[in-house]
Structure 1
């Protein structure tokens, strides 16, 4: 019985020790995550590339794409107006001839 009595205590102690280690790891992960969330801007500055001096910034791809699309729409509108004006002139000429 003496051997049995000491065995549960050693199991309890190892479980207790493992629980403490796991809790410490979880607390450490939570603290590191919290610190990273707070200092996100500082960390992003570390990994960001420094701006090159004297070079013009590259235009945003989507902005230039929108400008191209707008230019195409304006050209199509202009062509449509010219076509409508020509159709109106030919109709008036045909009407006057009749």
Structure 2
């Protein structure tokens, strides 16, 4: 019975399997080296690479609003409303004080 990679009739070793293995190993080694080189290049030139994949801003569209910016705007709006209500209340109080006489005199006959 012949073993794997051995010719049965001549008893010589079949080197085609070894040659294919060597070629595959060389290809894998080359792929690993190229990947390592690209990784090193990407580390050094991260900004250039990110600029390539970044989407250009579209004209006329606003960016998605930030959640915290929205909260700050709501809080500012609430503060302005409270200020304006307080201002209106002070105006109303001043008008009421001007309309009402300071003293009322009653006379009995």
| Structure richer in helix, relative to its length | 1
Q: Normalization by structure 2: what TM-score?
A: 0.46
Larger-Rg structure = 2
